[in-house]
Structure 1
Amino acid sequence: MTHASPQEQSDIRTQATDAPSLLRIAGLPYFLIAFVARLPFAMMVVGVLTVVVSARGSLSLGGLTSAAVGLGTACFGPLLGAAADRFGQRTVLLILAIANGAMLVLFTVVVYAGAADALVLLSAFGIGATAPQVAPMSRSRLVTMIADRMPEAVRTRTTSGTMAYESAADETVFVFGPFIVGVLASALAPWAPLVGAAVLTVVFVGAFALHPSARAVSAHRDSDGRAPSAVAELFSARLLIVVVGILGVGMFFGTMLTSLTSFMADRGAPEQAGLLYGVMGVGSAILALGVAWLPARFSLRGRWLAFSGILLAGSVLLLFVDTPAMMMLALAIMGIGIGPTLVTQYSFGAARSPLGRSATVMTMLGSGIVVGQSLGAAIAGEVAESAGTGSALLLPIVAAGIAFAAGVVNWRLSATAPRVRSERASVA
Structure 2
Amino acid sequence: MSYRSLLRVAGVGFFPLGFLARLPYATSALSTLILLQASTRSYAFAGLASAAQSIAIAVGGPTVGVLADRYGHRPVGTAAALANFGAWAILLATCHGTRESMFAAATLVGLTQPQVGPLVRVHWSRLVRSHDEHHLLSAALSYEASADEMSFVAGPALVGLLASVSPLAPAVTTMFLIAGSTIPFALLYTHRPTPWPLSGVRLKSQLPRRPLAVMFLAMVAMGAIFGAVQTAVTVYADTIDKPGASGLLYAEFGIGSALAGAACAWIPQRFSLRARYVSFAAGLFVGIGVLFVGAQLVSVPLAIAPASLTIAPYMISLYTLTERLAPVERAAVAMTILCAGGPLGTAAGQAVSGGLAEAHGLEGALVVALVVAAGALLLALSAFLADRNRSIWIIDPVPTENQVPGVPAEDVQNAL
Fold equivalence (TM over 0.5): yes
Contact 2:223 2:344 in 1 (8 A): yes
Q: Partner residue of 1:400? A: 373
**Aligned partners of 1:421 and 1:280: how far apart in 2?**
29
- Is residue 164–residue 290 contact of structure 1 (8 Å, CA) maintained in 2? yes
Tell me if structure 2 keeps the 8 A contact 1:140–1:358.
Answer: yes
Aligned pair in 2 of structure 1 residues 382, 62: CA closer, same or farther (>3 Å)? farther
Range 89-98 or range 305-314, more displaced: 305-314
C-alpha distance 322-351 of structure 1, shift in aligned 2 (>3 A): closer
Superposed, which structure 2 residues align to 1:7-406 within 5 Å? 21-111=5-95, 113-115=96-98, 117-150=99-132, 154-155=133-134, 157-187=135-165, 189-211=166-188, 213-220=189-196, 228-231=203-206, 233-235=207-209, 237-321=210-294, 326-406=299-379
Distance 1:255 1:421, change over 3 A: closer
Q: CA deviation at 1:138?
A: 0.6
Structure 2: runs of 5+ lacking an equivalent: 407-416
After TM superposition, give the deviation of residue 303 of structure 1 in Å: 2.2
How many pairs are equivalent?
398
Deviations 1:286-335 (A, max 9, x none): 11111111122322222222232222123224444456952123211211
C-alpha separation in 2, matches of 1:322 and 1:241: 31
2: CA distance between counterparts of 1:326 and 1:345?
30
TM-score by length of 1: 0.86
Match of 1:4 in 2: none
Residue identity in the other structure for 2:97: G
CA contact (8 A) 1:101 1:198 kept: yes
**1 CA distance for matches of 2:339 and 2:28?**
16
Give the distance between the partners of 1:210 and 1:221, measured in 2 at CA. Answer: 25
Q: Distance in 2 between matches of 1:352 and 1:26?
A: 24
Distance of 2:271 and 2:44 partners within structure 1: 46
Q: CA deviation at 1:408?
A: 1.0
User: What is the distance in 2 between the residues matched to 1:217 and 1:166?
Assistant: 20
Counterpart contact for 2:321–2:394, Cα < 8 Å: no
Is the 2:146–2:261 Cα contact (8 Å) retained in structure 1?
Answer: yes
Residue 411 of structure 2 corresponds to which residue in structure 1? none
Identify if the C-alpha distance between structure 1 residues 177 and 221 changes in structure 2 by more than 3 Å, giving closer, same or farther: farther
CA contact (8 A) 1:309 1:337 kept: no
Distance 2:123 2:151 in 1: 19
Q: Counterparts of 1:76 and 1:424 in 2: how far apart (Å)?
A: 31
Give yes or no for contact 2:65–2:336 (8 Å, CA) kept in 1.
yes
1:40-70 per-position Cα deviation (integer Å, ceiling 9, x unaligned): 1111000001111222111111111111111
SS of corresponding position for 1:214 = coil
In the alignment, is the contact (CA less than 8 A) between 1:39 and 1:173 conserved in 2? yes
1:371 Cα shift? 1.3
**Given residue 209 of structure 1, which amino acid in structure 2 is its aligned partner?**
A
CA distance in 2, matches of 1:216, 1:250: 31
Contact between 1:284 and 1:337, CA under 8 Å: does it hold in 2? yes
Separation in 2, partners of 1:421, 1:279: 33
- SS where residue 164 of structure 2 aligns? helix
How much has 1:362 moved relative to structure 2?
1.3
Deviation of residue 338 (structure 1)? 0.9
Asked whether the equivalents of residues 31 and 171 of structure 2 are also in contact (C-alpha less than 8 Å), the reply is: yes
Contact 1:221 / 1:356 at 8 angstroms: preserved in 2? no
Q: Deviations over 1:157-186 (max 9, x none)?
A: 311111100000000001100111111121
Are 1:239 and 1:349, in contact at CA under 8 Å, matched by a contact in 2? yes
The code of the aligned residue for 1:167 comes to A
Cα distance, 1:24 vs structure 2: 2.3
In 2, are the aligned partners of 1:143 and 1:424 still within 8 Å (CA)?
no
Contact 1:238 1:413 survives alignment (8 Å): no
Structure 1 pair 99–319 and aligned structure 2 pair: CA distance change class (3 A): closer
Distance apart, 1:411 and its partner CA: 2.0
How big is the shift at 1:424? 7.5
Shift of 1:421: 9.9
CA RMSD between the two structures: 2.7
Q: 259-268 or 126-135, which moves further after superposition?
A: 259-268
Distance in 1 (CA, whole Å) between partners of 2:353 and 2:89 is 30
- TM-score, normalization by structure 2: 0.88
Secondary structure of 1:270's match?
A: coil
Q: 1:424/1:294 Cα in 2 relative to 1: closer, same or farther (>3 Å)?
A: closer
Residues of 1 paired with 2:272 and 2:382: CA distance?
15
Q: CA deviation at 1:266?
A: 2.2
Q: Over residues 224-268 of structure 1, what are the superposed CA-to-partner deviations in whole Å (9 max), with x where a residue is unaligned?
A: xxx94223x241x22321221121111111111112211221222
C-alpha separation in 1, matches of 2:299 and 2:280: 21
Gaps of 5+ in 1: 1-15
Residue 351 of structure 1 contacts residue 424 of structure 1 at CA under 8 Å; is this kept in 2? no
- SS of 1:357's partner is helix
